[in-house]
Amino acid sequence: MDKIILEGMQFYGYHGLFPEENRLGQRFNVDLELYTDTSKAGRTDDMNDSIHYGHAYEIVKQIVEQEIVNLIETVAERIAAALLEHFDELQACRVKVIKPDAPIPGHFKFVAVEIYREK
């Protein structure tokens, strides 16, 4: 299956279980894999035959930056649902939501949730 990849998108959101997270906010990174047949777009060189990744970026940005939820699991589910609904040609997607500054004690690179959803 062909895929379009958007990796390392960075946003500022207010998700988390703690009031400080909802008030102060923090960084969130998102990676996407959008599974679709790219052969027609490759032949026609027409964006209408593909998934416009600029539109995908804006969908993710709106969900991460404008909605407030407790869990990054919820953020990931909302992103996947919105993408699958918006793009008819999207057959499946992998969404990874990364919380690099999660308020947990200890040293770590990041905390993340990755999901795979199909139509």
**Which residue in the block uniquely carries the two structure tokens 């999901």?**
115
Q: Model-level pTM?
A: 0.94
Residue 96's alpha-carbon distances to 23, 70, 117, in angstroms, are: 24, 16, 12
Ordered per-residue pLDDT tens for the chain, 119 residues: 899 999 999 999 999 998 888 999 999 999 999 999 999 999 999 999 999 999 999 999 999 999 899 999 999 999 999 999 999 999 999 999 999 988 888 989 999 999 999 99
Residue among 96, 99, 109, 119 flagged as catalytic? 99
Q: How far apart are CA 19 and CA 63, in angstroms?
A: 19
Calculate the dihedral angle through the C-alpha atoms of 10, 14, 19, 20, rounding to the nearest 10 degrees. Answer: 40
- Nearest-5° angle of CA 47, CA 48, CA 50? 65
**Domains of the chain, first to last:** 3-118 (3.30.1130.10)
Catalytic residue check, 109: no
